[in-house]
Amino acid sequence: MPAPLPVILDGDPGLDDAIAWLLALASPEELDVLAITTVHGNVGLDLTTRNAGVTLALAGADVPVYAGAERPLLCAPLTAARVHGETGLPAADLPEPRRGPEAEHAVNFLVRAVRERPGEVTLVATGPLTNLALAFRLAPDLPGKVREVVWMGGSTGGGNRTPAAEFNALADPHAAHIVLTSGVPVRMYGLNVTMQAVATPERVGRLRGLGNRAGRVSADLLTFYAGVYRERYGLSGGALHDPLAVAAAIRPELCRTQPMNVQVEMQEGLNFGRTVCDVYGVTEQPANVEVAVEVDDEALFALLLERVGRLG
């Protein structure tokens, strides 16, 4: 069996980040989680950092947490409290964090960790890309030393925060531009695939039926989430956005990807934050991103169910 892939989880929990991180932490055969780095996004940085500690306690994992950027590079901060609740983790029976964040800033940690293991570390990002962009600007050699960035963000089509833009891209378009044009290998899992992976009531019931705390909390989170998705999108449950990105780090075959040239719209206006994906190669510009275009959502949920079932 190959050695587990060294990964750093970067995100803004948020309920689907937390479920994604439970999946990662329950998969030690495939993923060696070196650390968690937190960023602004679904809720403020103080809450995303606390929620990282809650998630680790729920998983029974001892992994260091590094707090990162509290705001985007240039634009005004966004949050998504309507979708994720005021705290980001709207669930009962949550444990308290077992330890606080490290003193070192997440960006400095990213530079140090990647340089210590050049070509080995995958960055699994499930939030705005501010931490990664700052690290790449601070250390211009870093994109050449990262094994891969796996990002939940963007879309080949429309958005969810605006008609054009997906939330993680819109929350810091300038950071997304820096990362996607840095030369680092990127796999992008956008709304065009994540909205096909729905936590239906039947699937939520199966998580609750696992009988463990992690399953109950995951079910509570996805139940809260479902109301917005029924009202706004006409879906039967919330989309498994961030769990899909982590699952694809574990099993890349869950999604078919296509190389594309992807640019991020940074001009203020209707398309601000849009990931412009050259699906048909009409620009004849070289591909810079592997973009997911199809997903096996049944296999995704089966993996999530089995791994959450391993936890306490």
* DSSP string computed for 11-69: E--SHHHHHHHHHHHT-TTTEEEEEEEE-SSSS-HHHHHHHHHHHHHHHT----EEE--
Beta bridge partners of 31: 5
User: What is the model's pLDDT at position 312?
Assistant: 82
Positions of the chain with pLDDT lower than 50, given as ranges: none
pTM for the whole thing?
0.97
Candidate list 40, 84, 177, 241, residue with the active-site label: 241
Beta bridge partners of 152: 189
Cα torsion angle, 268, 270, 274, 278, sign: negative
Angle among Cα 177, 182, 184 to the nearest 5 degrees reads 120
* CB burial readout 29-63, b (16+ within 10 A) else e: ebbbbbbbbbbbbbbbbebbbbbbbbbbbbbebeb
User: What is the model's pLDDT at position 302?
Assistant: 98
User: What is the model's pLDDT at position 63?
Assistant: 98
What are the sequence ranges of the domains in the chain?
Answer: 5-308
User: What is the model's pLDDT at position 227?
Assistant: 86
Can you tell me the distance from the alpha carbon of 98 to that of 96, in angstroms, rounded to the nearest whole number? Answer: 6
- 241 classed as catalytic: yes
Q: Which amino acid is at 31?
A: L
User: What is the model's pLDDT at position 81?
Assistant: 85
Classify domain 5-308 by CATH number.
3.90.245.10
Can you tell me the distance from the alpha carbon of 237 to that of 228, in angstroms, rounded to the nearest whole number? Answer: 9
Is the backbone peptide bond immediately before 14 cis, with ω within 30 degrees of 0?
yes
Could you tell me where the beta strands, DSSP code E, fall in the chain? 5-11, 31-38, 65-67, 122-125, 148-152, 186-189, 198-199, 238-239, 255-260, 262-264, 275-277, 289-295
